Amino acid sequence: MLTLEATKPPQSDQTLGRVLVVEDEELIRDTIMLALSEEGYDVQVAEDGRMALDILTQPDDSDGSSTPGIDLIILDLMLPYVNGLDLCRLVRHQGDSVPILMLSAKGSETDRVVGLEVGADDYLTKPFGMKELIARCRALLRRHRHSQPPSFESTLRFNDITLYQQECRVMVRGDEINLSPKEFRILELFMSHPRRVWSREQLIERIWGPDFMGDSKTVDVHIRWLREKLEKDPSRPEYLTTVRGFGYRFG
């Protein structure tokens, strides 16, 4: 079964990284949380797939990644509401490369293969020891940090669309197009997070700010205007697509 060795918390107040633990079994969740916290990680937990989804789709102000400030996800396969495979798929769909360690009670080769196919980086079968888990987490974080390219880029390119952030200019298929400041900021946000799904509420929060009094139809109107300027056929958009039930996605 799960084992937990007592270790002293590190003296430094610098966290080793922020870990999201998605696990519905309380005992396992608490054991992992305790073990990682004692190692010096900053741990956030989600009890089911829906809670995890809420955390993972929060807008992020800190950097280019879609998962707000999360450096590693420990993800149980079988979860209520939204399962681990679907969550993993969604994170990768958003273009986020945050390392994912998948947990499963089943030890079959098929589960392992499917888990890795949908974008998990590593896979651990229950029951496992906390030392093993921590070693895997450390290795994943180290590998991920070494593979990160420098993130600053003032020109965003996607197929035949180029956005010059400093100059506030956008070229589409070789021609410069005229965008309103709001349209420019929406496109800049979308192009900074290719394939990430944004809800109307998230777009309002990011573009119009928390004091905005209008309704989410405003977002739809701006998306329509953007499509008319970007898309070859605005009625069948290739860039700004609607994700039914969620919102919009670029790319």
Q: Which is nearer to Ca ion, 127 or 214 (CB)?
A: 127
Shortest CB 77 distance to Ca ion, Å: 7
- 91-96 long-range contacts, Cβ below 8 Å, gap at least 24? 91/56, 91/66, 91/67, 91/119, 92/118, 92/119, 93/195, 93/197, 94/66, 94/193, 94/195, 94/196, 94/197, 95/66, 95/193, 95/194, 95/195, 95/196, 96/65, 96/66, 96/67, 96/196
67-96 residues in contact with Ca ion (CB under 5 A) are 76, 78
Shortest CB 80 distance to Ca ion, Å: 8
Shortest CB 84 distance to Ca ion, Å: 8
Shortest CB 5 distance to Ca ion, Å: 24
Q: Which is nearer to Ca ion, 76 or 121 (CB)?
A: 76
Residue type, 3: T
4-33 residues in contact with Ca ion (CB under 5 A) are 24
Q: Which is nearer to Ca ion, 24 or 188 (CB)?
A: 24
Q: Residues in contact with Ca ion, total (CB under 5 A)?
A: 3
Q: Under the criterion CB under 5 A, does residue 188 sit at the interface with Ca ion? A: no
- Residues in contact with Ca ion by CB under 5 A are 24, 76, 78
